[in-house]
Amino acid sequence: MPIVIEKLTHTYQNGSVNAFTALKDISLTISDGEFVGLIGHTGSGKSTLIQMLNGLMQPTEGRVTVDGFDMNDKKQRAKGRALVGMVFQYPDHQLFDETVYKDISFGPKNMKLNEEEIDKRVREAMRLVGLDFDEFAEKSPFELSGGEKRRTALAGIIAMYPKYLVLDEPMAGLDPAGRRAVLEMIDDFRRQLGCAVIMVSHSMDDIARSAEKVVVLRKGEIFRCGTPQEIFSLSDELREMGLEPPFAARMAGELRRRGMDLPKDIYTNEALVKALAEIKGGAHV
């Protein structure tokens, strides 16, 4: 069963003179195993929306159901929340225990799993995020590098085997190599665990690389929802919202303006390289 968002509206300080509607009439379905990219300018409602997915916030109107569990209902919310793993923008802020092992095992322990299963999950999660068990298990998470802290925080969520993994700017502050490593890591545990991924990002290149569906928020409403091809073909509209299209889409657009016959649905570097190679190959025919 999917996550279903129905006519969801959220107003901060509702009923007061300072009332502000952050989300308005949002309807969206997130299917099993799907990778959804959530984009929008700062203040568009992205962070508010993802906090609705595991019941951290309650809507003013409408509802969210997670595999049929109504997140507006306190009893059902606990069951729905167990299916949704949330990693915040700076996941290292989620670390708190005295060793990496204890930090990662916290969630599975709260699930009342036995020690053997907890140990299995911690080891698997550390492997998936690229942390060597023997090297890191007994280290303090506060002695780790920024990248290692991020991996530890991710491992703590993965160890709970979430059906839906929600990531709020997981690559924030990382260099290009670090961004690629995190995306590859997400792809890896998505393949192995079969979880759906909902990722908020300001990087259109990261979204273009991994997402199967892209949701564009503008002023608290869904502006567009579609495939990456459909969304990133709207370069002018995205720029008007302060969103820079992926590098490949920008480069292809510039080359088209200079007279090169390139497809309009190019949005990844791989597709751009392939198209240019085909043109170059055809020139010798």
Strand residue runs (E) in the chain: 3-12, 20-30, 35-40, 61-66, 69-70, 84-87, 164-168, 196-200, 213-218, 221-226
CA gap 164, 224 in Å, rounded: 22
State the maximum Cα–Cα separation within the chain, in Å, rounded to a whole number: 71
What is the per-residue pLDDT for 92? 67
2, burial (CB in 10 Å: exposed 0-12, middle 13-18, buried 19+): middle
Chain length of the chain: 285
What is the per-residue pLDDT for 13? 92
CA gap 165, 249 in Å, rounded: 28
3-state SS, 118-129, equals: HHHHHHHHHHHC
Q: What is the value of pTM for the model shown?
A: 0.89
What is the per-residue pLDDT for 185? 85
Name the least confident of 8-17, 175-184, 223-232, 267-276: 175-184
- Of the candidates 198, 176, 177, which has an alpha carbon nearest to the alpha carbon of residue 186? 198
What is the per-residue pLDDT for 282? 63
What is the per-residue pLDDT for 100? 96
| pLDDT 10s digits, 167-217 | 998 877 777 887 888 888 888 888 888 999 999 998 899 999 999 999 999
Can you tell me whether residue 200 is helix, strand or coil? strand
Listing DSSP states for 10-27 in one string gives EEETTTSTT-EEEEEEEE
Top pLDDT among 176 and 58 is at 58
| pLDDT 10s digits, 90-145 | 766 788 889 999 999 999 999 999 999 999 999 999 998 889 999 999 999 999 98
Cα–Cα–Cα angle for 26, 28, 33, rounded to 5 degrees: 150
- Mean pLDDT of all residues in 255-271: 90
What is the per-residue pLDDT for 199? 96
- Of the candidates 67, 56, 60, 66, which has an alpha carbon nearest to the alpha carbon of residue 16? 60
- Of the candidates 197, 245, 203, 252, which has an alpha carbon nearest to the alpha carbon of residue 84? 197
What is the per-residue pLDDT for 226? 96
At a CB cut-off of 8 Å and minimum separation 6, what does 56 contact?
Answer: 86
Instruction: Judge contact between 8 and 63, C-beta under 8 A.
Output: yes
Q: Is the pLDDT of residue 259 over 60?
A: yes
CA gap 166, 110 in Å, rounded: 20
CA gap 243, 223 in Å, rounded: 13
b vs e for 166-198, b when ≥16 Cβ sit within 10 Å of the residue's Cβ? bbbbbbbebeeeebebbbebbeebbeebebbbb
Average pLDDT score, the chain = 91
What is the per-residue pLDDT for 285? 38
